[in-house]
Amino acid sequence: MSAKFEGDRPKSLLKLGTATLIGASAAVLISGPALAEVDPEVAYIFNTLLFLIGGFLVMLMAAGFAMLEAGLVRTKHTAAICLKNIGLYSIAGVMYYVIGYQLMYNLTDTGLTSDYFGVPGLWAGSEAAGGEGVNLEDGYASSSDWFFQMVFVATAASIVSGAIAERVKLISFFIFVAVLTAFIYPIGGAWQWGEGWLYQMGFSDFAGSTIVHSVGGWAALAGCLLVGPRMGRYVDGRAVDLPGSSLPLATLGTFLLWFGWFGFNGASQLAMGSAADASDIARIFANTNMAAAGGVVTTIILTKIWARKVNLGLALNGALAGLVAITAEPLQPAIWQAILIGGVGAVIATGGLFLLVRLGIDDVVGAIPVHLFAGIFGTMIVPWTNSETSYLVQAIGVASFGGFAFVSSFIVWLALRNSIGIRMSREDEEVGGDLTELGHEAYPEFVPGNGRALA
């Protein structure tokens, strides 16, 4: 409502007409030729296009997560993790359509006004085909916004699959994803992006370090605690390395995530219908890239000094931690600040990996350090570069999302454990999820002994 929240994504601001609003506020600031405000229809097209480009970029992050996780699990669980990834992306879309979107954004459109969640229900906001429903005052096509929001919820779900890979039951995982994307993520989202209580308090999380990444991380942590570590991961109190099967695929996945992140952060500007918005998006692209670069360079230097060897997996996670860390505020930092934020995010994620091992938690791909720890850091560092935010409010937001996401996820995992179970049998885990849950192998010709246990 005040300029304070510019860059955040309250829905009503947009409904007031982004182009008009931002065009007006920018008019004072933009120098050069006399400013004729961008034609509302042209702004509408630009805004819609931003959501569509951002949406397809974020969609490809589903492929990024799939490849990252396929590369970091062992061969006998690889097909299963691929299925989980394409399955979760699909389930997330359906559940968000059926329930989640309205729960997240429909806070004020009914009599049941709430600051905590909207009225759940089928998303019905699509303008009619053929242009009958086009209202230029909306500022963008409702379907484009929905599409963009939908790919975000899938991201949150993707974070969970990697952490609890190699031992969670397929069907239980999918049920958890359905609950996460229908209820947990949307309710949290309502607090901020739905203009709920945290938004009103002044919490700031530009593209979702907390709302998306740490929520996914908390859900993953709850899952890890209840499903327990993989067989053979901790033997006599010592951690045993169970190396991932294909680091090139993990590298590909990381690059695809980095690529998609330009959409994730850039299109979270939510408008491209003015020169000011376009400039902001450009800043966001540069900062997003440099935070990731900072994460990689920091990890390489750190591990070279510390361990004499440079671990590829840590470098990949360093890139991702840098990306997560900058996500809460990719607009305000100068480039050097973005590099620094990314670098510190990577240090935190790297340290977090060792902390988890200490605690006996088994996170197969390092999703919790990357998405939860770096996400918390990114959210807490916002006031360093954005003077209109407060450390206290950021902390309240981080804690509120953490408490809600962790407790609700824990309850769902617990309910699943006490009903259909969440853990594969010891025999199935030994043989691998591919043969036991899917009935086929990921690489039938490559690892001859893989199917042995069944023979």
Restricting to residues 105-144, name those near a second copy by CB under 8 A. Answer: 122-123, 126-127, 129-138, 141-144
Single residue of 283, 376, 383, 424 touching a second copy by CB under 8 A: 283
Q: Supply the DSSP string of 255-315, one letter for each residue.
A: HHHHHHHHHHHHGGG---SSHHHHHHHHHHHHHHHHHHHHHHHHHHHHHHHHHSS--HHHH
Residue 157 in contact with residue 124, Cβ under 8 Å?
A: no
Cα–Cα distance for residue pair 355/179, rounded to 1 Å: 29
Restricting to residues 354-413, name those near a second copy by CB under 8 A. Answer: none
> Residue 203: which of 12, 393, 392, 331 has the closest Cα?
393
Residue 246 interacts with a second copy (CB under 8 A): yes or no: yes
SS3 234: strand
Cα–Cα distance for residue pair 23/44, rounded to 1 Å: 12
Residue 102 interacts with a second copy (CB under 8 A): yes or no: no
Residue 276 interacts with a second copy (CB under 8 A): yes or no: yes
H-helix or E-strand spanning residue 175: helix 170-179
Cα–Cα distance for residue pair 387/204, rounded to 1 Å: 11
Residue 237 interacts with a second copy (CB under 8 A): yes or no: no
Single residue of 275, 393, 395, 396 touching a second copy by CB under 8 A: 275
Residue 101 in contact with residue 151, Cβ under 8 Å?
A: no
Single residue of 15, 16, 21, 35 touching a second copy by CB under 8 A: 35
Cα–Cα distance for residue pair 77/65, rounded to 1 Å: 15
Cα–Cα distance for residue pair 328/401, rounded to 1 Å: 14
**Shortest Å, Cβ 96 to a second copy:** 10
Restricting to residues 158-217, name those near a second copy by CB under 8 A. Answer: 170-171, 174
Nearer to a second copy, 299 or 400 (CB): 299
**Shortest Å, Cβ 111 to a second copy:** 25
Single residue of 72, 168, 207, 290 touching a second copy by CB under 8 A: 290
Restricting to residues 62-81, name those near a second copy by CB under 8 A. Answer: 62-63, 66-67, 70-71, 74-75, 78-80
Range 238-242 contact pairs with CB under 8 angstroms and sequence separation of 24 or more? 239/357, 242/74
Cα–Cα distance for residue pair 193/199, rounded to 1 Å: 7
> Residue 350: which of 287, 303, 395 has the closest Cα?
303
**Shortest Å, Cβ 47 to a second copy:** 9
**Shortest Å, Cβ 412 to a second copy:** 19
Restricting to residues 313-352, name those near a second copy by CB under 8 A. Answer: 313, 315-316, 319, 331-332, 334-336, 339
Residue 268 interacts with a second copy (CB under 8 A): yes or no: no
Residue span binding a second copy (CB under 8 A) among the ranges 155-163, 226-234, 247-255, 407-415: 247-255
Longest dimension (CA), the chain: 78
Residue 149 interacts with a second copy (CB under 8 A): yes or no: no
Residue 82 interacts with a second copy (CB under 8 A): yes or no: yes
Q: How far out from the chain centre does Cα 134 lie?
A: 30
Single residue of 146, 218, 377, 413 touching a second copy by CB under 8 A: 146
Residue 272 interacts with a second copy (CB under 8 A): yes or no: yes
User: Which two structure tokens, joined as six digits, stand for 358?
Assistant: 């200490």
> How far does the chain reach from its first CA to its final CA, in angstroms?
66
Residues in the chain: 455
Residue 310 in contact with residue 300, Cβ under 8 Å?
A: yes
Restricting to residues 431-450, name those near a second copy by CB under 8 A. Answer: 437-447
Single residue of 102, 214, 245, 409 touching a second copy by CB under 8 A: 245
Residue span binding a second copy (CB under 8 A) among the ranges 50-58, 196-204, 218-226, 417-425: 50-58
Q: How many CB atoms lie within 10 A of CB 10?
A: 19
Q: How many CB atoms lie within 10 A of CB 201?
A: 16
Residue 422 interacts with a second copy (CB under 8 A): yes or no: no
SS3 363: coil
Give the interface size with a second copy as a residue count (CB under 8 A): 143
Single residue of 280, 362, 363, 429 touching a second copy by CB under 8 A: 280
Single residue of 13, 72, 91, 340 touching a second copy by CB under 8 A: 91
**Shortest Å, Cβ 417 to a second copy:** 20
User: Which two structure tokens, joined as six digits, stand for 163?
Assistant: 């952490």
